[in-house]
Amino acid sequence: MHISDVLRGKGHEVVKVRTTDTVQAAVRKLSEHRIGAVVVEDAWMRNAGIFSERDFVNATAEYGAEALLFKVERLMSSPMVTCRPTDKVETALAAMTLAKIRHLPVEENSRLIGIVSIGDLVKNRLDEKALEANVLLDIARLHA
């Protein structure tokens, strides 16, 4: 199974904020869209980084409520760790584990085409294993 298969099932929408947006605006987008990370674009519409719930929690722990007034670029993670649609799900999971991240933007030809979360990938693996189990049960029934 490849990342392109995961995107086919979940969609290609990527929620973005600008480097000059406040952390409060970014957190509002996270809440509105019920997501854990947003991609951050610079003034030239280039991907500058990623801002996640974890970035917000760490900033709040260090700076308190004042962190809400910061510009996103101050707290975003950059450069982004990314994957390609042709990557296997296992490869993406390994990259996320190694980088200790939960969201992985998907790029094709230097263009952002989606984002996957650890939850998306785990769900995909569970669905795949359930299908395998059902096939094995069907085979066992045929030979019983």
**Model confidence pLDDT, tens digit, residues 12-23:** 999 999 999 999
Tell me the whole-structure pTM to 2 decimals.
Answer: 0.85
The pLDDT, as a whole number, for residue 122 is: 87
The pLDDT, as a whole number, for residue 125 is: 79
CA distance 100 to 39: 17
Domain ranges of the chain: 3-142
CA distance 116 to 9: 11
CA distance 26 to 130: 37
| Residue 134 burial by Cβ neighbours in a 10 Å radius (0-12, 13-18, 19+) | exposed
**Model confidence pLDDT, tens digit, residues 93-138:** 999 999 999 999 999 998 999 999 999 998 887 777 766 667 667 6
Beta bridge partners of 103: 117
Return the CATH fold of 3-142.
CBS-domain (3.10.580)
The pLDDT, as a whole number, for residue 130 is: 63
Q: What's the angle, vertex CA 52, arms to CA 82 and CA 113, rounded to 5? A: 35
**Token couple for 85:** 């649609």
